[in-house]
Every structure is written in structure tokens, then in C-alpha cells.
A and B are shown apart, each in its own frame.
Chain A
Amino acid sequence: MLEIKNLHAKVEGEDIHILKGVNLKVNAGEIHAIMGPNGSGKSTLSKVVSGHPEYEVTEGEILFNGEDITELDADERAHLGLFLAFQYPVEVPGITNKTLLREAYNTIARANDREELDPIEFEDYIIEKLDVINMKDEFLSRSINTGFSGGEKKKNEIFQMAVLNPTLSFLDETDSGLDIDALKVVSDGVNKIANDENAIVMITHYQRLLNYIKPDHVHVMMGGKLIKSGGFELAEELEANGYDALEKELVLNGEAQ
């Protein structure tokens, strides 16, 4: 589904290179986790994949279902089925969640020759999706993320994911800021959305999320690269020994740069 090959990216117009050769392959039905220290480039990877104009790809390619999407705008990638749950969801005063989601849903439907929903149909559809993460319907008529608590913002991202039903989602630290109850609710929601036809890449610092959403693959990002991949045990190892130990081990093995 997604194949990232030797991806290099820098900040547009500046000499700040962040991604330095990322390779990642995600198949339908898989759940991946990316872990890594602060500033290693995890969010940047998710933004580059979703088409943030702040970054420029200098080398490598991003294939989505075989198509090179490196040059596509963010909305065109969304139309293909990409979704990013932001680490820091943006507040947009004056536009309600419902307005955004109906516009987004119908734009994506149009782009894929699917039927659009009129306001009444959409209302039914969206109300049903509230259940996925136990969200109160009052959030529908509130301005996007405006005045939401940290946890509510994160929940709202997963709610949007449920509504837009993407094929590939990057969840950037969706677990940070959630208390244990909210974490369960959100994880349940993600598990409900996950199926054989879609895929999820979670970025997280904590193993606790992975206890609720079982990843098939775990990757470690450092210095703008995925330096090690493995199964769930890699997350446990990181939790126990930290990144430093991993880095030392790689140096010893001559695997680090």
C-alpha cells in the first residue's frame, strides 16, 4: 500500500535537512508503530507523507498503491485515502467540526466518483460515527478544536478519521495527553476502524499505547532514519533500556552511520 524509498526531506527554502533516507513498507491490514527520541523526525515524516508544503523532498519517493505521490498536494493525497492525525491538532475558530467534515467527506467522495451525502444523510452518518469514540454530539457544532482540552483534540482527530474512513492513517502521538480512560476509548476506536483493507502507522513514545493497539511492526527512528525494525518485542526492549542502549548496540554492530 505505502512504500517509502530512501526518502530525504528538508525544510523548504532552508538548509535544514530532517529526513535522511527513510525506508518503510506498509501493507494493507498492517499496523505499524514508529518510536524514537524527540526531534528525530517522526512528525516530519508524517507531514511529508501527507504533503505539507513546508517540506521539500530532495531525494527518494513515496509510492501509494504504486503511484508516486511526492508531487501531489495535501488534498489530493487525502482524496487517495491518506490521513494524518496531528500531534498538535490545529484550532480553527469559526468553522465547526461538522462543516469541515461534510465538506471533506463530500470532496473526497466526489474525487472518487462516489455518491455525496446531503446534509440530512450526512447528519445520520456522522452521528453514528460519534459512537466509535464515545464523543458527545455537541462537539459537532463546536469550532474545530477551539477551546478543546488536549485529550479532546486527540479524540477529535480519531473521530475525523472514523468519518473520513481513510486507507492509510498516520497517528502522530495520538496517545499523548490522554488519560487512561480516554486512551482505552481512543484505542478501541482505532481498533474498530482497523481492518484488512486499511493500514495504520502510529507514532508514539510509549509502549502503553501498543498494549491496546497491537502493532505488527515496530520501527525506531533516529537522526532522520528508521534505524531498526522489529516486532512488539522491540518496543519492550526500548521501554526497558531506552534509545541510548539501542544506539550503542547498533554502533557496536557497525550498523549506525
Chain B
Amino acid sequence: MSEVIQRDTMLSYITGSVESSAESVAIRAINERGREDLENTPFPTRKDEDWRFVDLKSITKSQFCKLEEANAADVGDISDHYLPEAMNCRLVFVNGVYSEELSSVEDLPNNVIVGNLAANADNNSVKEHLGTITNYDDDVFAPFNDAAFTDGAFIYVPEETVIRTPIHILNVFTDAEKAFYATPRLLYVGEMFSKSTIIEEHIGLADNQYLNVPVTEFKMFTGSNVHHARIQRDSKKASHVSRPIAILDKNAEYHSYTICLGAKLFRNDPRVIQNAEEVNFTVDGLVLIDGDQIADTHSIMDHRFAHAGSHQLHKVVVNDSAHSVFNGKIFVAKDAQKIDSFQENRNLLLSENGKVNTKPQLEIFADDVLCSHGATIGQLQDEEVFYLQSRGLTEQKSRELLVYAFALESVESMEVESVEKLLLNEVIEYTNRDEK
């Protein structure tokens, strides 16, 4: 005897229907596909292996409306958030909507495109790659973005072109009367031997509740190279569920660094897929959470061909009753020999009520590979604290410095000075919250 249980879908938490208003036929086709997936995929619960540890209440106890119905506040002056290195290379999205006024793109090398998707919908690369790279089975969030997005960022770097200024993709979210949803989208196409640095930022300007579901797709052709920093500073009441994915051709390099500071619920599922031999990639993360924040990273490093070097350092600091989850999968397919993959998850637990679940996971079907993984959960070492204190530093200052030191390594991989500064300030602010 079996009982058919009608499970909720993503749409259960959305007011009204998700209808496309996209002008582009190509985008509308993806919207259509997304809607179908959404209707047919149940919303995850804790019974699903991939969601075991995550409390999704902050989504399921709410209803999210379209931006138009939320009565969102004006964005105001956000120039403080501009990066000096990227003054002429910035795309701004306010609550998920492209702002031509706040964006600034000038003086880029020939044929480079840094613009919005809607305006470039007829571009061949957009037509060819948009929506083809994401591939999340049984997922409701990528399809939700698929169903709802009408615009986004598009970056195209032609063959043998190096963009020296970092490209700043700034997503800001304003206060609003109602909880709304946003579906930022980014398509990056790097042609052969191209190179660039992307700073993707999400900032909540107020402390309102909203649902941020970004999808980023990176198509990396032979020998192309990207440094992708993602900084999540959403409002402390927001939920942020990310689907960043990259697919790498021969000799491509993709290095991503995700910094999680904000959001009540952060779920990030980065995936890097090897599409040819000899690639290099990084999937690093730094998570600093406190209060009742939840940060969950489920990553996949998917080695499908021989000769890859991949690296993942996921660092987490947990305070108060915050909760971090890490599940890092390393896949190595049967014929993918000579893989050198390294994964490490280091957790620093600052409070008794903080929680850490960590599960590195190797699935290796080739025999000539070098894969290592490890996870540590530690507290600040008493001997270290005493050493600093014996030199005159207060206990608070000693702890602060030690947390700072723990986070520093990740911050230093940002490569853009103003971003490093900004993050160091965030780290200091984080460690100071303790004092109150």
C-alpha cells in the first residue's frame, strides 16, 4: 500500500505565478523550461540527503512576491560600494534589475562585452551558452532562476584578450515593504586564452527579508583563465541560494573564492566540471557567521578527464548559535588519471552553541590519482591565547587576532586590493561583535 503524498514545490512559497516578461525568445524558452521543472520538482526537506542539516524555515515560513509588488525603496547613493579599481567596469543590479544609470563600462579592449543579457540576447554566445551550463538534478533553485529571470549580466572576453581591470558585478538589495524574490543571472564566456577577474558582490542595504537566487554560468574555452571572487553580504534576514557553475575546456583555469558574511540562510552549490584534459581550478570559501545564521556549501569538483589540478580550501568561523554545513564532493571518473586534487575544510568554533557539520566526500573511479581531503573542527588554542595575553594583549584582542589570522589566508587570495581591505574590515567587525 502506498500513499501518494503531494509535496510542496518552490511555487508554494511564491505569491502569484512566475510568468516571463522577457522580450528575448531565447530567454523565454529557458523560462518555460524552468517553469516545467519547478512544477515537477518537490521542494527539498530534511529527508533529502543533500538538505539533511539545513533548516529551510526562512524560506518555507514565508511568501515571496515579485519585486513590482514589494514596494521596494529607492536605491539611493551606493557609490561607497564601488570598487576604485573597477570604476569603469561595473554592472549594477538593484533588486535583480539592471541599472544602466549606476553601471559604468568604458575603455574595454576591442570586442569585449560587459553588459546586460537582455541587451545582448541576440549575441551568438548568449544564444549558444545561456542556460546550457547549469545542470542541477532534482533542484528547485536553478529552475526557479531559469523560470523567473529576464535579464542579467553578460561578459564576453574574446580570444587572447586580457582584461586587466577587475569587472565588478554589484547586486544590491534595498529595503521593501514585502519580502520579494530576485534571480540574478550571470553568463561568462571566455574565448581561447582570454583572461579576467570578476568580483561578484551581493549586498543587502537594509535588514529586510528577501530571497536571492543567483545563477552564474562560466563557459571557459581552451586556455582561458578567470579569477572569480564572490562576496555575499546580503541582509541578515535574507535567504541566498546560489548556483555557480563553470565548465572548463583544455588548459582552462577557473579560480573561485566565495566569501559568506551575510544572509540568514546561505546555501551555495558551486560546481566545476572538467570538459577536457589538463585543467586547473579552485573552489575556495570563507564563511564568517554568527547569531542564527546558517551557511551551507555543497560543492562538486567533477574530474572527467585526465590531468587536472584542483584545490579547495573551505574555512569557516562560527559564533553564537550559527550553523555551518560543508559537503565537498570530489568526483574522478574512470579514465581521469593523473588528477591532483586537494580539499580541506577548516572550522573554527567560537561558541558552545555553534554547530558544524562537515563531510568531505571522494568518489574516485580512476587508479592513478592523488586526492587528499581533510576536515578539522577546532577552537582557538588556549596556548595561543595565553601566549598573546602574556605579551599584554587582552583576551578579547588575542582572540580577535587569532580569528583574523585564521581568515587572512582566504582574504589574501582576492587579488584586488580594495576588496581585500573591505574584507579585512569585515573580519575585524565580525570579531568585535563578540564584545557586545
Nearest-neighbour CB distance to chain B for A238, whole angstroms, equals: 29
Separation in Å of the A195 CB from the closest CB of chain B? 20
Per-position contact with A for B358-395: 1 when CB-CB < 8 Å, else 0?
A: 00000000000000000000000111101111111111
A128 interface residue per 8 A CB criterion? no
Give Cα A124 to B91, complex, Å. Answer: 45
A79 within 8 A of B: yes
Interface residues of A in 72-93 (CB under 8 A from B): 73-75, 77-79, 83-84, 86, 89-90, 92-93
* In the assembled complex, A187 has its CB within 8 A of some CB on chain B: no
Q: What B residues does A95 contact at CB under 8 A?
A: 388, 401-402, 404-405
Q: How far is the CA of A160 from the CA of B392 in the complex (A)?
A: 12
How many A-B contacts are there with CB distance less than 8 Å?
79
**Is B406 positioned at the interface, with any CB of A under 8 Å from its CB?**
yes
A50 is an interface residue with CB less than 8 A from chain B: yes
Q: Is A185 an interface residue (CB 8 A)?
A: no
Contact check, A73 vs B389: say whether CB atoms are below 8 A apart.
yes
**Measured CA separation A52–B385 after assembly (Å):** 10
Chain B residue, CB-CB nearest to A85: B390
Q: Are A104 and B392 also in contact (CB < 8 A) when A53-B382, A90-B384, A94-B409 are? A: yes
Q: How far is the CA of A144 from the CA of B384 in the complex (A)?
A: 10
Cβ of A143: which chain B residues have Cβ within 8 Å of it?
Answer: 405
Contact partners of B121 in chain A: CB under 8 A: none
| Chain B residues within an 8 Å CB radius of A77 | 390
Q: Does B408 contact A (CB under 8 A)?
A: yes
User: Given contacts A53-B382, A53-B386, A90-B383, are A78 and B392 in contact (CB under 8 A)?
Assistant: yes
B66 at the interface (CB under 8 A from A): no
Q: How large is the interface on B (under 10, 10 to 19, 20 to 34, 35 or more residues)?
A: 20 to 34
- Pair B382/A84 contact, Cβ less than 8 Å: no
B390 interface neighbour in A54, A78, A93, Cβ under 8 Å: A78
Describe B's contact surface by its main secondary structure. Answer: helix
Q: Is the CB of B392 within 8 A of A84?
A: no
Does B397 reach chain A (CB closer than 8 Å)? yes
Cα-based distance from A204 to B408 in the complex (angstroms): 38
- A78 and B391 in contact (CB under 8 A), knowing A52-B386, A90-B383, A107-B397? yes
Chain A nearest CB from B4 CB (Å) reads: 55
Interface-central residue, B402, B404, B405, by most chain A CB under 10 Å = B405
| CB within 8 Å for A100 and B386 given contacts A75-B393, A94-B409 | no
With a CB–CB cut-off of 8 A, which chain A residues contact B386?
Answer: 52-54, 74, 90
Q: Is the CB of B393 within 8 A of A107?
A: yes
List of A residues within 8 angstroms of B401 by Cβ: 95, 99-100, 103
In the complex, what distance in Å separates the CA atom of A124 from the CA atom of B401?
23
Query: Within 8 Å CB of B391, what residues of A?
Result: 78, 100-101, 104, 160, 164
Which partner residue on chain B sits nearest A109 by CB separation?
A: B392
Using Cβ atoms and an 8 Å threshold, which residues of chain A touch B390? 50-52, 74-75, 77-78, 83-84
Question: B397: nearest residue on chain A (CB-CB)?
Answer: A103
- A73-B382 CB under 8 A given contacts A78-B390, A94-B406: no
Cβ contact within 8 Å between B394 and A75: yes
Residues on B lying within 8 angstroms of A by beta carbon are 381-384, 386-395, 397-398, 401-402, 404-406, 408-409
Q: What 4 pairs between A and B have smallest CB-CB spacing?
A: A94-B405, A78-B392, A90-B387, A104-B391
Sample of 11 more A-B contacts, CB < 8 Å, known A75-B395, A77-B390, A104-B393: A51-B390, A52-B386, A90-B387, A92-B384, A94-B402, A94-B409, A95-B405, A100-B391, A103-B393, A104-B392, A107-B393
Residues of A within 8 A of B (CB): 50-54, 73-75, 77-79, 83-84, 86, 89-90, 92-95, 99-101, 103-105, 107-108, 111, 143-144, 160, 164
